[in-house]
Amino acid sequence: SQKIEQNSEALNIQEGKTATLTCNYTNYSPAYLQWYRQDPGRGPVFLLLIRENEKEKRKERLKVTFDTTLKQSLFHITASQPADSATYLCALRRGRGGANNLFFGTGTRLTVIP
C-alpha cells in the first residue's frame, strides 16, 4: 500500500525565513499531489496541486516541487509569517479521475515564531 511520510511532526522557524516541508512516498507514482493547510478545529483547506509532469508550481509565497525520481515533494513558504502557523498535509492521488484514491500524509505542524 502507499506510504506517505512528512518529514517531521513539528517544525519551528523564525518569521521571515523560508519554511520547507517534505513529503516522501513509496510504491507507485501518483498522477498528482496536493497540499492542504489545516488550522486547529477546522477542516483542511486546499492550497496547491502539482501534476506528475510538472516540476514546480507557485502561488504567491508558496512553492511546490515534485520529483518523481526521488518520490518526493517539497513545500516552501517564503517570507514566513506567524499567520502561516498551521498543520500542512500532503495528499497523493494514484490514477486519473477524481479524488477517489486520495491518500493523506500525517502532516507537519509549522510554527512561525515572531
Partner 1 sequence: DTAVSQTPKYLVTQMGNDKSIKCEQNLGHDTMYWYKQDSKKFLKIMFSYNNKELIINETVPNRFSPKSPDKAHLNLHINSLELGDSAVYFCASSLSSGRAVAGELFFGEGSRLTVL
Residue ranges that bind partner 1, judged by CB under 8 A: 32, 34, 36, 38, 41-46, 49, 87, 89, 91, 93, 96-104, 106-107
Output DSSP code: residue 8: -
Q: What is the closest distance, in whole angstroms, from the C-beta atom of residue 99 to partner 1 in the complex?
A: 4
Distance CA 90, CA 105 (A): 5
Place of cell 488550522: 39
Burial 58-70 (b: 16+ CB within 10 A, else e): eeeebbbbbeeee
Q: What is the closest distance, in whole angstroms, from the C-beta atom of residue 93 to partner 1 in the complex?
A: 6
Is 10 or 70 the residue whose CB approaches partner 1 more closely? 10
Query: What is the separation of C-alpha 79 from the centre of its chain, rounded to a whole number of angstroms?
Result: 17
Q: What is the closest distance, in whole angstroms, from the C-beta atom of residue 30 to partner 1 in the complex?
A: 11
Is 63 or 93 the residue whose CB approaches partner 1 more closely? 93
